[in-house]
Amino acid sequence: MRSAIIWMLVSYFIGSLPTGYLAARLFRGVDIRAVGSGNIGATNVRRLMGLGWAVGVTIVDMLKGALALLVTANAALPTPLMLSLSAFAVVMGHNFPLWLRFRGGKGVATTYGTVFFLWPYESFAVTLMSGAIWYAVMRSTRYVSLASLASLWAMPLFFWMLDAPLPFILLTLLLALFSLYRHRGNIVRLLHGKENAL
């Protein structure tokens, strides 16, 4: 139990690095939370700083998830439950960073980076298939929020289809539920036809 708490805390602090906030603050002198949607994620960074910066923020946010999983797998007993707890903690760190009074991103990129290393090699396939769904929905609708939600809800389905360990299925289901909560404003705007297309 103590080991699980320690590695969840380590993962939380890895995830809590506010990539988008730091990029905007250090290179534009702007608080990204006062721009556009007020979110610190890549979509809002793109509005302020352009596509290149958004891609960079996305990659770093994905690497945070990957790093937390790899550190936990190599330093602790890498059981499905332990890895799932670490994965959950790193995404919560991104969503609710201590340094920004718990106002963080929506966790999509960090979830992808985490899930990729969750259950090699099957999780590679899950991530790629979910990414394909993201791309297809994004191309057809131009809504990042809808694409993100569709792809994250596909993850627990894909893990279930691959007969994954139960902690992995429950983890991705829980992360999809949290993403639904974090995107609640986007969902309201989508229902009223007011969501900003990319």
Q: How far apart, in whole angstroms, are the C-alpha atoms of residue 35 and residue 43?
A: 11
> Domain for residue 197, yes or no?
no
Residue 133 pLDDT grade (very low, low, confident, very high; cuts 50, 70, 90): very high
**What is the total count of domains within the chain?**
1
> Domain for residue 41, yes or no?
yes
Q: How far apart, in whole angstroms, are the C-alpha atoms of residue 120 and residue 165?
A: 12
Structure confidence at residue 175 (pLDDT) = 97
Q: How does pLDDT run across 141-195, given as a tens digit for each residue?
A: 999 999 999 999 999 999 999 999 999 999 999 999 999 999 999 999 999 999 9
Q: How does pLDDT run across 16-31, given as a tens digit for each residue?
A: 999 999 999 999 999 9
pLDDT (average), residues 113-133: 96
Residue 52 pLDDT grade (very low, low, confident, very high; cuts 50, 70, 90): very high
Residue 55: how many CA atoms within 13 Å on its side-chain side?
A: 3
Return the structure tokens found at 33. 């939370």
Is the pLDDT at 76 greater than 80? The verdict is no
pTM of the predicted protein model: 0.94
The answer to whether residues 108 and 182 touch, using CB atoms and an 8 Å cutoff, is: no
> Domain for residue 157, yes or no?
yes
Structure confidence at residue 1 (pLDDT) = 73
Domain residues for 24?
2-191
> Domain for residue 184, yes or no?
yes
Residue by residue, DSSP assigns 20-58 as HHHHHHHHH---GGGSTT---SHHHHHHHH-HHHHHHHH
Residue among 145, 158, 154 at smallest CA distance from 107 = 145
Question: What are the start-end ranges of the E strands in 59-189?
Answer: none
- CB under 8 Å to 85, separation ≥6 — which residues? 4, 7, 8
Query: What is the chain's mean pLDDT, rounded?
Result: 94
Is the pLDDT at 61 greater than 90? The verdict is yes
Is the pLDDT at 196 greater than 90? The verdict is no
Return the structure tokens found at 198. 């990319």
Structure confidence at residue 198 (pLDDT) = 78
Structure confidence at residue 37 (pLDDT) = 83
> Domain for residue 198, yes or no?
no
> Domain for residue 38, yes or no?
yes
Residue among 58, 34, 59 at smallest CA distance from 46 = 58
> Domain for residue 145, yes or no?
yes
Q: How far is CA 80 from the centre of its chain?
A: 19
Structure confidence at residue 24 (pLDDT) = 95
Residue 111: how many CA atoms within 13 Å on its side-chain side?
A: 30
Q: How far apart, in whole angstroms, are the C-alpha atoms of residue 87 and residue 136?
A: 26
